[in-house]
Amino acid sequence: MKKSTVATFAALAMSSAIAAPAMAEGEVNVYSYRQPFLIEPLLKAFTEKTGVKTNVIFAKKGLEARIEAEGENSPADILMTVDIGRLHGAKMAGIAQPLKSDILEKNIPSQYRDKDGEWFGLTTRARVIYASNDRVEQNSITYEELADPKWKGKICTRSGQHVYSIALFASMVAHKGEEEAKKWLEGVKANLARKPTGNDRAQVKAIYSGECDLSLGNTYYMGKMQTNTKEPEQQDWAKSVRILFPNTNDRGTHVNISGMLLAKYAPNKDNAVKLMEFLSSGEAQKIYAEANHEYPVLDGVEASKLVQSWGSFKADSLSLNKVADARKKASELVDIVDFDAGAN
């Protein structure tokens, strides 16, 4: 059974394997939700540096279930994914193993890694507010202000149950407590211009079309729109808005992560640890953050010039461990207030 699983992995991974030098030092198998073109430059640099061959399987969904189903026979060494919800979910599914690494602890701030060493952040993205250049005059805002009646009928967002939304709402639960977070969600719901639908870019498109004035979204979507040459209309969407970093004058803007974990039954554990430590290095952080329009977690590594052009901000120092702990309650509150029904 194990031979069959490994053979299947090899066949599927062949098209995305990164060629290794002649003196290869073994291999490492990566299950990834990050698209191949985003991580291949990193893996190529790792192979050139260490001689370790990397094999990658990319999928849009189902990798956690796959690792769980494969059990002890799984060829997976590392899972790469995004959002604290997905990383915490993988931990709860029992498909990760704890890792103690001085290098990872040095390079990755404590608020961006699991307290038990079962997941580690690689880059950060801020959950910001996109504001219409034509219809919104102010240049500062707070998340709390989204519940102010002055924004009635002017806010767009994706589903309240999406992992990106739940993480932000969980941070509000952690900061404000359950009752205040519930009141806030009710206020935001009352200000929605339409039922929550679509992805983050769809919200910016809605601002461009005049359907709303503000939207919630992750920072990297601005980069995706600004550099989209295949769909140049998205560049027009991006030009119609500017990024406001909420609460940057007090507790800071909510940030989330892209991250990684060491698979529970990693057959190439030593090489997996080498790759994880490499991904936290300054060299890899710069490559990864620029490719994804995100912010490096390693202090001292600058974001790309495009990302810097959006402005500076103070990041919320709240540990993502606390955000993970509050996710269940945040999800319950979304249902209690019937957030996805939109305003009455």
| Binding-site entries | 220-221
pLDDT the model gives residue 25:
74
Query: How do the residues of the chain divide into helix, strand and coil, expressed in percent and rounded to 5?
Result: 45, 15, 35
Supply the CATH classification number for the domain 124-253+312-341: 3.40.190.10
The span from the CA of 307 to the CA of 319, in Å, is 23
pTM of the predicted protein model = 0.90
Mean pLDDT, residues 262-285 = 97
| Binding-site entries for Fe cation | 220-221
One DSSP character per residue, 87-117 reads HHHHHHTT-B-----HHHHHHS-GGGB-TTS
The span from the CA of 83 to the CA of 63, in Å, is 15
Whole-number average pLDDT of the chain: 92
The pLDDT tens digits for 228-260 are: 999 999 999 999 999 999 999 999 999 999 999
- Where in the chain are the domains? 2-123+256-302, 124-253+312-341
Q: Hey, do 2-123+256-302 and 124-253+312-341 end up sharing a CATH topology, with the first three levels equal?
A: yes
The span from the CA of 121 to the CA of 215, in Å, is 26
Q: Which of 21-25, 116-120, 191-195, 322-326 has the lowest mean pLDDT?
A: 21-25
pLDDT the model gives residue 36:
82
Supply the CATH classification number for the domain 2-123+256-302: 3.40.190.10
The span from the CA of 338 to the CA of 121, in Å, is 32
Q: What is the percent of the chain where pLDDT is above 90?
A: 88
Q: Where are the alpha helices (DSSP H) in 32-177?
A: 36-50, 63-70, 84-92, 102-107, 163-176
The answer to whether the CB of 247 falls within 8 A of the CB of 143 is yes
